[in-house]
Structure 1
Amino acid sequence: MSVFETTVAHMTPWLQAYGYPILGVAVALEGAAIPLPGGILMAAAAILAAHGELSLVGVLLTCWPAAVAGDNLGYWIGRNGGRRILLRSGLHRRRLGRLQRFFRRFGIWLLVFGRFFDGTRQLEALVAGSASMPWRRFFLADLAGTALWVLTWVIGLYAFDQHPGAIHRLILQLNPWVASIALIVLALVIWRLLSRGPNRTSEIR
């Protein structure tokens, strides 16, 4: 049994005992930079929905609003003292400055895709607020990012549990294409960053 499966198994009794409220609270507070296993509970909830113990629609309607609410809480904490919080947590001032500049430049993409990565999921809203990202832009990007995250994990795990053989065959067929696209995107991002290097240096001088 993998670490992921073991963790989900440990989280399942909590969901069976407390249901949607604990799921919503964990997902929301994780987005506000509080270290709770919201993502793992959501995965466990999707599997329970596949077994008929929870409603698939109920899981979706709990997780998406909770994720949006938690991220907005994290954003406003970031706007009202997030820099001090991040510095007190051990983040170096210079590294925080680079992180905030990076967020101002690529923040929308981080909000859309960052929720799929531990660490980024917990801190992106706090950093967005501390970087003074306009709230409207943050809110719209966060709506898209949380919807993508919730739908991918919940529907994906639900479908995998319902049709494991078919999903496994599909993954094997798509894997070369996904790897190729990921490499192309990574190469484009690296080229983009490197191509801006000299201009950045001249600006600093």
Structure 2
Amino acid sequence: MSVLLLLRSGCMNIDAILTSIPVALVYVLVALFVGVESLGIPLPGEIVLVAAALLSSHPGLGVSPIWVAVAGILGAAVGDSIGYGIGHRYGRRLFAVMGRRFPKHVNDDTVAYAEHIFRRFGVLAVFFGRFIALLRIFAGPLAGMLRMHYRRFLAANIAGAVCWAGGTTLLIYLLGTVADRWLKDFSWVALLIAVVVGIAAAVLLRHRVERNMHAFIESRRTGSVDQAE
């Protein structure tokens, strides 16, 4: 009985922390982090979006999943468009500056791989790149640098933002509410389950992209014609 009381007390403490966050600030942070990440700066935009979606699934906090999704969509679309303009104007000089500031994320190999994907798949890389961390950072600036037609870029950019931000918010929201309904007395478990599922999916996708990128880099260094996708 004492263990149950302790768990309930812990849940109440977590709820108190979450409810102390101003609702408007949640939306602003989502748009800000997603938007800045889309400019080409490696911030955890996806993590902030997932966290906000989790908050929206928690009863009583007043965070709307609709507005979380809207904030994510606006941040992604506007950030990518600004990134496109910067990449269009400054080209490779932009990536040289980013490489000095963020060498782990932006270097000759990662830029070459992202450029290979963009040249191969065109606007599809803009759309699907929204779901992949590496391409999500490069999408706007790289499309601008490669002089991709802006209207085509904008259409793919908005479509990708809607599917990514809206889909991620909906998925996490549903996972949180369903788990919370099944585990009424331990609502913190719902958040844990959603986080674990999201992290697992992200890790698997990241490993797949990294494997393809390493294969591409190796083939690039050896001069192989049959490069990895």
TM-score class, shorter: 0.5 to 0.7
Q: Following the alignment from structure 2 to structure 1, what is the Cα–Cα distance between the partners of residues 112 and 164? A: 27
In structure 2, which of residues 130, 139, 157 is the aligned counterpart of residue 124 of structure 1? Answer: 139
Equivalent in the alignment of 1:103: 118
Equivalent in the alignment of 2:29: 22
In structure 2, which of residues 20, 23, 38 is the aligned counterpart of residue 31 of structure 1? Answer: 38
CA contact 2:30–2:72 (8 Å) conserved in 1 = yes
In structure 1, which of residues 37, 40, 44 is the aligned counterpart of residue 51 of structure 2? Answer: 44
Q: Following the alignment from structure 2 to structure 1, what is the Cα–Cα distance between the partners of residues 144 and 92? A: 9
1:103/1:34 CA distance change after superposition, 3 Å: same
Structure 1 position 80 matched with structure 2 position 80: no
Q: Following the alignment from structure 1 to structure 2, what is the Cα–Cα distance between the partners of residues 118 and 23? A: 16
CA contact 1:50–1:162 (8 Å) conserved in 2 = yes
Deviation at 1:19, TM superposition (A): 2.1
Deviation at 1:99, TM superposition (A): 4.7
Deviation at 1:112, TM superposition (A): 1.2
1:116/1:97 CA distance change after superposition, 3 Å: closer
Deviation at 1:74, TM superposition (A): 0.7
* TM-score normalised according to structure 2 size: 0.60
Deviations 1:108-127 (A, max 9, x none): 11111112121211111111
Equivalent in the alignment of 2:211: none
Q: Following the alignment from structure 2 to structure 1, what is the Cα–Cα distance between the partners of residues 146 and 162? A: 23
Runs of 4+ in 1 over 6 A off after TM superposition: none
SS of the residue corresponding to residue 94 of structure 2 reads: helix
Equivalent in the alignment of 2:202: none
CA contact 1:78–1:125 (8 Å) conserved in 2 = yes
Equivalent in the alignment of 2:203: none
* Identical aligned residues as a percent: 30
Equivalent in the alignment of 2:164: 149
* TM-score normalised according to structure 1 size: 0.67
Q: Following the alignment from structure 2 to structure 1, what is the Cα–Cα distance between the partners of residues 116 and 177? A: 44
May I ask how many residue pairs the two structures share in their alignment? 157
- Structure with the greater alpha carbon radius of gyration: 2
Deviations 1:118-156 (A, max 9, x none): 121111111111111010010001111111101221000
SS of the residue corresponding to residue 121 of structure 2 reads: helix
Which ranges in structure 1 are unaligned for 5 or more consecutive residues?
A: 1-8, 169-199
Equivalent in the alignment of 1:196: none
Which ranges in structure 2 are unaligned for 5 or more consecutive residues?
A: 1-13, 183-192, 194-224
